[in-house]
Structure 1
Amino acid sequence: MSTGILASLARLCYRRRRLVVATWIVGVIAVAFAGFGFGAASDNSASGGDSGSARAQSLIEEHFPDQQGDTLTLAIKADNGIDDPAARRTIEAVIADLAASPVTGPVTSPYQDRSLVTADRRIARTTIPLTAAEVSEADVEPLVTTVKEASGDGVTLGLGGKAAEKAETPPQGAAESVGVLAAAVILFIAFGSLVAMGLPIATALLAIVGGIALMKLAGHLAPSPDFTVLIAAMIGLGVGIDYALFIVTRYKESLQNGDEPEAATVTAIATAGRAVLFAGTTVVIALLGLVTMGLRMMTGVAIGASVTVLVTMVAAVTLLPAFLGFTGYRILGMRLPRRARKNRRAPAERWAAVVQRRPLVAAALAGVALLVLAAPALSMRLSLPDASVQPRDRSSYTSHEIVSEGFGPGYGAPLVFATRVDSDADLRPVVDAVRATPGIAYVTPPRISADQQAATFMAYPTTGFQDEATADLVHELRNDVLPAAPGGDGVHIGGPNALAIDSAEEISSRLPLMIAVVLAMSLVLLIALVRSVTIALQAAVMNLLSIGAAYGVLVAVVQWGWFGTALGFPTAMPITTWLPMMMFPILFGLSMDYEVFLISRVREEYERTGDTRAAVARGLARTAKVITAAAAIMIAVFTTSLLGPDISVKQAGFGMAVAVLIDATVVRMVLVPAVMELCGRANWWMPWRRTPSPAAADDVREPVQV
């Protein structure tokens, strides 16, 4: 009979199953009421650290309080010109409706200011100030609807601005539901049992609700952006179902081997449950690696997602054994018809034998394939999504297209210059130098603050927000133009475009530190679990290769545009600034999950036989089905993000799905057996003890089983 803390916990949860289930349900309801009712609001504020954009923003906030409010941009295009009587009636009616809203300030009509109209009088724009620093989507949505409904009869109208983009972005919808449905189908195919299908899903869903509610409460200490809920839901659903799947699989095996339900539950938690705790801890440690980036936004994401994973881990080793107490032998019932099995090796074991006959060739081919897939990552560009990459039916995209046509693509990418001044300051040399720079379309006159201590002006580039040339222009202005202009040393460049550039550069500079921290902590944990330095190093290198390949595929699809439209990306675009940084710890942790479940079984076989080749083949055979099902569930959950509206979340879901696919196929099915075959007994090397052998197997503590 299994002993130890986990065995005792499983036995307690099994025998007190009614109390455990009731406690979980009541606890989740209470936490959900508190979290969803009193949780912290999302905080999407980004910072460029101590960059030029951050300094410019600080000066503007300190000396230009009237520039703090958000604005909307009404773009107008009239086929017959805005002076056509019918067009004018439509345009003036829309402007009047927008000005009458309780959340907008005075609106300047393009009929009153000629600078708001193009020379041919076909395109016009106007800025609509919002009266509050924060307006709700419900307040702005009627304005978007008004503008959309007014379009037609030769007049096209679009409403742009961040508030408009958020207001017309539909909710995530049924994407997660599709993921749950896909997981149910995969589990039913894998298990052939309705009960076995339902247990992992029920456990994961209950844990996710509690985890997200706790995440919202934790937001009071570590505010997180609004996309954190979607990311946490994807990760929580994936790992929650996977962890329960591994335990249920072990439970079924024990029943089939003749154990009673209670003994099978205890065995499953003491073996697979222990692996789940190690795997989940690895994911949490990897996620908390984001804290080392020193970015407030990413700290919130790390803590929020970690809380959700922690709850799924606890549910797997407490709630699931209680559920198993209710199912008993019924988990083996209602099975799909199966073809009679012949006495032959499993397909995964035969495949491992094929790889092991030519391990060097297999490892080389797999390694080259991963490097080829990773190659596009060398050209990765980072930016933040703007109106130009939104779906074509959005009013914000229409506004962007009209303004770009009439006033140039740089109108949506203004550069805001800010500096401290004294009473006799003369900014004309700086303004003239900026105006004379190639790539600058127009520069506004400088404006002095009311306290006479700061000045600001704006410059519009000839290229758009997402163009690489705009980033090059910002660097040229900072490195060459401003230092050479009299009085230019103290001028800082800010604005949304400069902020995106600075954030990308800051993230790129800190990424190596985060990777090093995640690698070091994960290696220590894996060495403690598998008791092998060699295997831990193998896992780290293979994980880096699979993540690099996922980055490469993401760049090819999203940035280069290969099949991007078919996958729901409106156009080719740079990778979202925070995405590579966020993807790395998540994917590294998830890859370690599969490593733990596979190597645990391999270790068990090796300590029983002392034959590495046989241990790898049998370990792969015993875990291939469950790892394949787990990976398929994770891929299904992640790819459902492509059904949602958020461009950045789409990128994240697609990138993580690709990484899991690569890890579960190329890495687990080819690289692992090939490399372990090449290393032989060196796989089990530890510096402070000799490599175990069949004779020494009894001296080694019981391995983790799955």
Structure 2
Amino acid sequence: MKNLALFTYKYRKFVLAFWTVLVLFFGFFALKLPSVLNGSGFEYEGSYQEVQNIMQSDFDIPATSMILLFEKDKEAADNDFTAYMNDTLSNVEKVKDTHVYRPPSSIKDNRSYAVLSFDGTDDKRAENIKEIRSKLSDTKLFSVGLTGGSVIAEDMNQASQDDLVRAELIGIPIAIIVLLLAFRGVIAALIPLVTGFVSVIIAMGLLYFTGQKIDLSIFVLNTAPMIGLALGIDFALLFVNRFREELGPAPIKDATIKTVLTSGRAIIFSGFCVLLGLVGMLFIQVGIFQAVALGGVAVVFTSVLAAITFLPALLSVLGPHINKWTILRTKEKQMSGWHKFAGFVMKRPVIMAVLAIALLITGAIPVAHMKLAIPEANALPTSYESRTTFEKYEATFAEKDITTVPLIAKATEDMTEAGALENLEDLILTLKKDPLVSDVESIFSATEMTAEQLTGALHVPEMKAQLEPAFEQLTNGQQAILQVSLRADGSSDKAKDWVREWENKQTALDVKVGGQPKFQQEIFDEIYNKIWYSLAFILISTYIVLFFAFRSVLIPLKAILMNVISLSCTFGIVVWLFQGGHLGSVPSDIALMIPIFAFSIVFGLSMDYEVFLISRIYEIYQETGDNDKATLQGLISTSKIITSAAAIMIVITGAFAFTGIVPVQQMGVTVALAIFIDATIVRMVLVPSLMKLLGDLNWWSPLRKRKIVRQNG
């Protein structure tokens, strides 16, 4: 660390020039990041995806379909409505790689629909959607809307970009005010903001190149800047504050070196804790967790690197000028409010600790009722046509609590052979006996023949010719496709249990299950099966890092337990807010990824304050050997800066609560709330209480080579 500090001081202008080049280079590609983001991120390499691929390649069923929903005024004539639909569909058919299918259904509740399929490559889908929309036009009596999975995903991408701008417009001005209040000077206040932007710009540029190689979820566009800005500003806040403290009595060079050795060291350990939390998500092989983990790793890496190289170089160039343009001057008090509060807590450690823990446990109670769901169209704001159109389509044409599940049955011989047809018929009879199955569409229902009748008919040339279209549509070589209707909602536990059971059921044919229930089941199972590995990795690795940072057995354990309790309280309040529909929110299930994101991200972020605070206490304890004095002085010296850092993180992440995408709202509220609880109840009450109660035991370690001697008696 000392060599690094000397290098950044000696070559400070070169270091700043190097970072300037990095910002300009990666900034160009950062602007292009939205173009490489695709989909919600809920992709998983399992049976669902395999069935989708088979349906597309072997049965010519498009992997992605869109829906055109037509609506007429109740006074309009049906003939005119039909003419309007035909004209619209004729225009849409002119769009390249687009095919139109209009189901043979009558007008229902003044609505009708058509299905569109797209044969082009994925990178052309956005252009395809844009061109289709350009062909649509409403009249006084008729209207048309476009929806479907790919349309909703494209709108999610656009909404994410809009939300990012909105959150920045809300969060950054307030963050500037907090920084001005913390530093009371314009120059000092702007440095953390500049550092945060430098970190985020470079990280987003790196993610652009990553997105060329692997699929990245559109949620990266929100989570990466959220983490990067909050973390970059936090690190800079700590660093600048320590530099200003050291600058008073020491020359610029010595102040820079001392700041890197103390705050720089704390930032590295802190960043490593955040990094471990994000890496823990990589155990879960679902696209969105992989993407957010990679995005988070990129911003943490650039934030730490900027804090220990860019910042010392910039501060050593500024020197005393960092205190220029002071706008608020205050008289130093002999005893600050923080001093009084810390003293009050440490005089009553048992009572304060019990009260804090009771409060946290009370807040955690609603966690038991948490309902998790994969975000769908309702995650979009109601202002988006794709959401409202989808809801209208479902309300009018979708059968309530009926889900269609495609099954691919594979035989050891061609599906035109007698043995294969008999086994397929047996499979269908077994399916129909299942109480959850309402209907099965197959080659038998399409031809209205049994296996025996089909076998006989295939030996008659005239009848074989008549049956060929049905066989071409519903069979392919050794494979046959079945459409099974279930009496259950696609996201219900009943449907998920059914597809899981049938995937593992032994039959004469090899059966692969697809459809929405399979998609949901595989995602949920992957998370529930792997989350324990993720948690174990985060908890154990964090303990090891903190153990070597503070040479203590109890401090890392205490930090981890406090984080788990405070996060449980956070989740409980989030459930109360969103599921309960309190404080003006619309009742909604918690997005499936929120608890995992929050735990992985917040666990590391909240360790920032633990590392900042304990590093200062440890530094003083090494000098004095007095645990109570070290705790009190550590709290007094860091309380203001930790509170300011927490306030900025709350503002930056909490600003996303005012965005339109529901999961992003939930994420913003969860992170902001977790940081608030951590910086108040945990850091201001629990930490000093437990530090007081445990005394010198806080610092016990079998690896400690020498005992710290008290200097004052």
User: Which of the five TM-score ranges fits, normalised by the shorter chain?
Assistant: 0.7 to 0.9
In the TM superposition, what is the alpha-carbon distance from 1:150 to its structure 2 partner?
1.4
Q: Give the whole-Å Cα distance in 2 for the aligned partners of 1:522 and 1:482.
A: 38
Instruction: Say if 1:131 and 1:668 are closer, same or farther in 2 by CA, change over 3 A.
Output: same
In the TM superposition, what is the alpha-carbon distance from 1:36 to its structure 2 partner?
6.2
The equivalent residue for 2:12 is 17
Letter in structure 2 aligned against 1:652: M
Residue of structure 2 aligned with 1:558, choices 558, 574, 578: 578
The equivalent residue for 1:474 is 496
**1:231-250 per-position Cα deviation (integer Å, ceiling 9, x unaligned):** 11111111111111101000
Q: Is the 8 A contact 1:684 1:692 kept in 2?
A: no
Instruction: Within 5 Å, give how 1:235-274 maps onto structure 2.
Output: 235-256=227-248, 258-274=249-265
In the TM superposition, what is the alpha-carbon distance from 1:539 to its structure 2 partner?
0.4
Q: Which moved more, 1:183-192 or 1:224-233?
A: 224-233
The equivalent residue for 1:363 is 353
Q: Give the whole-Å Cα distance in 1 for the aligned partners of 2:587 and 2:97.
A: 35
State TM-score, norm by structure 1: 0.86
Letter in structure 1 aligned against 2:20: I
**1:25-63 per-position Cα deviation (integer Å, ceiling 9, x unaligned):** 11332344467679993454644455x535534543563
**1:384-428 per-position Cα deviation (integer Å, ceiling 9, x unaligned):** 211244322322222222222222355996432222135333545
In the TM superposition, what is the alpha-carbon distance from 1:276 to its structure 2 partner?
0.7
The equivalent residue for 2:613 is 598
The equivalent residue for 1:140 is 129
In the TM superposition, what is the alpha-carbon distance from 1:140 to its structure 2 partner?
0.9
Q: Give the whole-Å Cα distance in 1 for the aligned partners of 2:403 and 2:360.
A: 37
Q: Is the 8 A contact 1:222 1:299 kept in 2?
A: no
Q: Is the 8 A contact 2:346 2:692 kept in 1?
A: yes
Residue of structure 2 aligned with 1:452, choices 454, 470, 477: 477
Does 2:156 correspond to 1:131? no
Q: Give the whole-Å Cα distance in 2 for the aligned partners of 1:14 and 1:387.
A: 53
Instruction: Say if 1:277 and 1:238 are closer, same or farther in 2 by CA, change over 3 A.
Output: same
**1:332-359 per-position Cα deviation (integer Å, ceiling 9, x unaligned):** 2322333433322x22222222222332
Instruction: Within 5 Å, give how 1:100-249 maps onto structure 2.
Output: 100-108=94-102, 113-114=104-105, 117=106, 122-134=110-122, 135-144=124-133, 147=136, 149-150=137-138, 153=141, 155=142, 157-169=144-156, 170-171=158-159, 172-173=161-162, 174=165, 175-220=167-212, 223-249=215-241
The equivalent residue for 1:704 is none
Instruction: Say if 1:82 and 1:372 are closer, same or farther in 2 by CA, change over 3 A.
Output: farther
In the TM superposition, what is the alpha-carbon distance from 1:284 to its structure 2 partner?
1.4
Instruction: Within 5 Å, give how 1:214-613 maps onto structure 2.
Output: 214-220=206-212, 223-256=215-248, 258-295=249-286, 297-344=288-335, 346-408=336-398, 410=400, 414-421=404-411, 422=413, 423=415, 424-426=420-422, 427=424, 430-431=427-428, 444-445=441-442, 449-460=474-485, 464=489, 470-476=492-498, 478-479=500-501, 487=507, 490-563=510-583, 565=585, 571-613=586-628
In the TM superposition, what is the alpha-carbon distance from 1:663 to its structure 2 partner?
1.0
In the TM superposition, what is the alpha-carbon distance from 1:227 to its structure 2 partner?
2.1
In the TM superposition, what is the alpha-carbon distance from 1:487 to its structure 2 partner?
4.7
Q: Is the 8 A contact 1:53 1:494 kept in 2?
A: yes
Instruction: Say if 1:651 and 1:444 are closer, same or farther in 2 by CA, change over 3 A.
Output: farther
In the TM superposition, what is the alpha-carbon distance from 1:693 to its structure 2 partner?
4.3
Q: Give the whole-Å Cα distance in 2 for the aligned partners of 1:398 and 1:463.
A: 23
The equivalent residue for 2:671 is 656
Instruction: Say if 1:274 and 1:189 are closer, same or farther in 2 by CA, change over 3 A.
Output: same
**1:232-282 per-position Cα deviation (integer Å, ceiling 9, x unaligned):** 1111111111111101000111123x2223322222112111111111122
The equivalent residue for 2:74 is 80
Instruction: Within 5 Å, give how 1:665-680 maps onto structure 2.
Output: 665-680=680-695
Instruction: Say if 1:409 and 1:159 are closer, same or farther in 2 by CA, change over 3 A.
Output: farther
**1:459-516 per-position Cα deviation (integer Å, ceiling 9, x unaligned):** 45566555xxx3323314543x8889x9588433322342123202211111011111
Letter in structure 1 aligned against 2:549: L
In the TM superposition, what is the alpha-carbon distance from 1:288 to its structure 2 partner?
1.4
Instruction: Within 5 Å, give how 1:632-647 maps onto structure 2.
Output: 632-647=647-662
**1:53-91 per-position Cα deviation (integer Å, ceiling 9, x unaligned):** 355345435633x22441101223435388534433433
SS at 1:695 equivalent: coil
Instruction: Say if 1:503 and 1:371 are closer, same or farther in 2 by CA, change over 3 A.
Output: same
Q: Give the whole-Å Cα distance in 2 for the aligned partners of 1:223 and 1:289.
A: 19
Q: Give the whole-Å Cα distance in 2 for the aligned partners of 1:231 and 1:150.
A: 37
RMSD: 3.2
In the TM superposition, what is the alpha-carbon distance from 1:125 to its structure 2 partner?
2.1
Q: Which moved more, 1:502-511 or 1:435-444?
A: 435-444
Q: Give the whole-Å Cα distance in 1 for the aligned partners of 2:495 and 2:643.
A: 48
Instruction: Say if 1:462 and 1:181 are closer, same or farther in 2 by CA, change over 3 A.
Output: farther
Letter in structure 1 aligned against 2:693: L
Instruction: Say if 1:405 and 1:443 are closer, same or farther in 2 by CA, change over 3 A.
Output: farther
In the TM superposition, what is the alpha-carbon distance from 1:577 to its structure 2 partner?
2.9
Q: Give the whole-Å Cα distance in 1 for the aligned partners of 2:76 and 2:377.
A: 24
Instruction: Say if 1:223 and 1:575 are closer, same or farther in 2 by CA, change over 3 A.
Output: same
Q: Which moved more, 1:38-47 or 1:387-396?
A: 38-47
Q: Is the 8 A contact 2:44 2:287 kept in 1?
A: no
Q: Give the whole-Å Cα distance in 1 for the aligned partners of 2:133 and 2:486.
A: 27
Q: Is the 8 A contact 2:286 2:523 kept in 1?
A: no
Q: Is the 8 A contact 2:53 2:63 kept in 1?
A: no
The equivalent residue for 2:461 is none
Instruction: Say if 1:151 and 1:531 are closer, same or farther in 2 by CA, change over 3 A.
Output: farther
The equivalent residue for 2:448 is none
Instruction: Say if 1:160 and 1:432 are closer, same or farther in 2 by CA, change over 3 A.
Output: farther
Q: Give the whole-Å Cα distance in 2 for the aligned partners of 1:128 and 1:456.
A: 21
Larger Rg: 2
**1:77-130 per-position Cα deviation (integer Å, ceiling 9, x unaligned):** 43538853443343333323322322421342x5xx13xx36x56332221111
Instruction: Say if 1:294 and 1:92 are closer, same or farther in 2 by CA, change over 3 A.
Output: closer
Q: Is the 8 A contact 1:105 1:130 kept in 2?
A: yes
Instruction: Say if 1:611 and 1:217 are closer, same or farther in 2 by CA, change over 3 A.
Output: same
SS at 1:97 equivalent: helix
Instruction: Say if 1:30 and 1:393 are closer, same or farther in 2 by CA, change over 3 A.
Output: closer
In the TM superposition, what is the alpha-carbon distance from 1:9 to its structure 2 partner?
2.6
Task: Structure 2: state its 5+ residue gaps.
Answer: 444-469
In the TM superposition, what is the alpha-carbon distance from 1:540 to its structure 2 partner?
0.7
Instruction: Say if 1:103 and 1:347 are closer, same or farther in 2 by CA, change over 3 A.
Output: farther
State TM-score, norm by structure 2: 0.86
Q: Give the whole-Å Cα distance in 1 for the aligned partners of 2:490 and 2:658.
A: 26
In the TM superposition, what is the alpha-carbon distance from 1:304 to its structure 2 partner?
3.0
Q: Is the 8 A contact 1:388 1:400 kept in 2?
A: no
Letter in structure 1 aligned against 2:392: I
> What is the percentage of aligned positions where both structures have the same residue?
27
Q: Give the whole-Å Cα distance in 2 for the aligned partners of 1:131 and 1:302.
A: 32
Task: Structure 1: state its 5+ residue gaps.
Answer: 1-5, 566-570, 699-706
Letter in structure 1 aligned against 2:574: L
In the TM superposition, what is the alpha-carbon distance from 1:635 to its structure 2 partner?
1.3
Q: Give the whole-Å Cα distance in 1 for the aligned partners of 2:202 and 2:269.
A: 21
